Amino acid sequence: MEKEHKIIIITEEIKKRKLIKKYDYCYKQNRLSKEIKQKILKAEGILLYDITKTKEKKLHINDHINKTGKNPLIKISPLEFIDISKLYQKEKNGITTVGLGARFNKEKNNHQYPSTFMCTIAVLCKKINPKIKIQAKIINC
């Protein structure tokens, strides 16, 4: 089976604002197509992009706090364990984002590094392919 190097996945908010022009897939809330799931299974890495509202232009994500109200692991078997303790590839100046989901516009000013659905996408990707390496970035809009 041939490995694909890295898949770029963006959120709908990145697409709306045309902040990233070249990508492989645009994530729509809680949905990954069968086609992209197959690509994730074969990929060595994922690069995720989401929006934020902060003074910095582009930030690397080392961790997240999920306040989206969505948990992609809720439907897995109690016997299945998915380790998300080291979900993202770390960088020296990386930050922790707060995933707000659909409440981003309403609550973005209440958090230093808010994002929309990046945390959900990252967990879904790890659920599909536990060995995948995930890099994530948020871009100020």
> 41: Cβ–Cβ under 8 A, 6 or more apart, which residues?
128, 129
pLDDT band at 26 (very low <50, low <70, confident <90, very high): very high
Q: 0.95 exceeded by the pTM?
A: no
Gap between the Cα atoms of 42 and 139, Å rounded: 27
Residue-wise pLDDT for 78-128, tens only, equals 667 788 889 999 999 999 999 999 999 999 999 999 999 999 999 999 999
Q: What is the pLDDT of residue 16?
A: 94
Q: Is a pLDDT exceeding 60 seen at residue 133?
A: yes
What number is the average pLDDT over the span 10-35? Answer: 90
Domain ranges of the chain: 4-140
Which fold, 4-140?
A: Rossmann fold (3.40.50)
pLDDT at 80: 75
Asked whether the beta carbons of 19 and 115 are under 8 A apart, the reply is no
Q: What are the Cα distances from residue 104, in Å, to 5, 48, 91, 110, 118?
A: 31, 17, 25, 10, 12
